[in-house]
A and B are shown apart, each in its own frame.
Chain A
Amino acid sequence: MTTTDTVSAAAPPADPPPQPQVLTTRDGTPLKVSLARALRREKMRALLLIAPLLLFIVLTFAAPIADMLFRSVENGIVANTLPKTVEALADWDETSGEAPGEPVFAALHADLLIAAEEKTHTRLGSRLNYESSGMSSLFRKTGRRADRMDDALPYKAQFIDIDDDWGDVATWQVLKRFSPELTSGYFLNAVDMQMTTDGVELKPENERIYLFLFARTLFLSLTIMACCLLLGYPIAYLLAALPARTSNLLMILVLLPFWTSLLVRTSAWKVLLQQQGVINDFLVWTGLVSDAGRLVMINNQTGTIIAMTHILLPFMILPLYSVMKTISPSYVRAAKSLGATDWTAFWRVYFPQTVPGIGAGSILVFILSIGYYITPELVGGTSGIFISNRIAYHISSSLNWGLAAALGVLLLAAVLLLFYVYDKIVGIDNVKLG
Chain B
Amino acid sequence: MTFKTLLLASAATAMMTTGANAIDLTIVSWGGAYSNSQNEAYHKPYMAENPDVTIINDESSNEAVAKLRAMNEAGNVTWDLVDVLASDAIRLCDEGLAMEIDHDEMLAPAPDGTPASKDFGDLIVSDCYIPQIVYSTTFGYRTDVEAWNGKEPDDICDVFDLEAFPGKRALEKRPINNMEWALLCDGVAKEDVYDMLETEEGVNRALAKLGTIKDQTVWWSAGAETPQLLADGEVVMGSTYNGRLFSLIEEQDQPVKMLWDAQVFDLDGWIVPAGLPKERLDAVMKYLRFATDTQRLADQAKYISYGPARDSSAPLVGKHAELGIEMAPHMPTDPANAKNTFLFNYEWWADYRDDLDAKFQAWLAS
Contacts and interface: CB of A to CB of B under 8 A. Distances in A.
Interface string A193-217: 0000000000000111100110000
Contacts of B362: 206-209
A281 to B, nearest CB: 11
A281 B221 CA distance: 26
Contacts of B218: 299, 381
A139 to B, nearest CB: 8
A396 interface: yes
B355 A275 contact: no
B65 interface: yes
B211 interface: no
B128 to A, nearest CB: 10
A123 B354 contact: no
B234 A123 contact: no
Interface in B89-116: 91, 93-96
Contacts of B221: 377
Interface in A154-190: none
Contact of B350 (A130, A136, A383): A136
Please classify the interface of chain B as helix (H, G, I), strand (E, B), loop, or mixed, using the class held by over half of its residues.
helix
A207 B364 contact: no
A408 interface: no
Given A129-B351, A136-B351, A276-B233, A399 B66 contact: yes
Given A123-B94, A133-B351, A134-B351, A399 B363 contact: no
Interface residues of B, number: 35
Interface string A383-409: 101000010000111111000000000
A382 interface: yes
Task: Name the interface size band of chain A.
Answer: 35 or more
A396 B362 CA distance: 19
A122 B93 contact: yes
Given A123-B94, A381-B218, A398 B361 contact: no
A396 B67 CA distance: 8
A274 interface: yes
A140 interface: yes
B63 interface: yes
Contacts of B190: none
A39 B263 CA distance: 76
B12 interface: no
B365 A209 contact: yes
Contact of B347 (A137, A208, A395): A137
B352 interface: yes
B354 A398 contact: yes
Contacts of A209: 358, 361-362, 365
Nearest to A385: B365
B359 A126 contact: no
A310 interface: no
Interface string B184-219: 000000000000000000001000000000000011
B232 to A, nearest CB: 5
A383 B234 contact: no
Contacts of B347: 137
Contacts of A395: 66
A325 interface: no
A381 B171 CA distance: 11
Interface of B: 62-63, 65-66, 69, 91, 93-96, 168, 173, 204, 218-219, 221, 232-234, 347, 350-355, 357-359, 361-366
Given A299-B219, A399-B65, 9 more contacts: A118-B96, A126-B95, A133-B355, A137-B347, A274-B232, A377-B221, A382-B219, A385-B365, A399-B66
Interface of A: 118-120, 122-123, 125-126, 129-130, 133-137, 140, 206-209, 212-213, 274-277, 299, 377, 381-383, 385, 390, 395-400
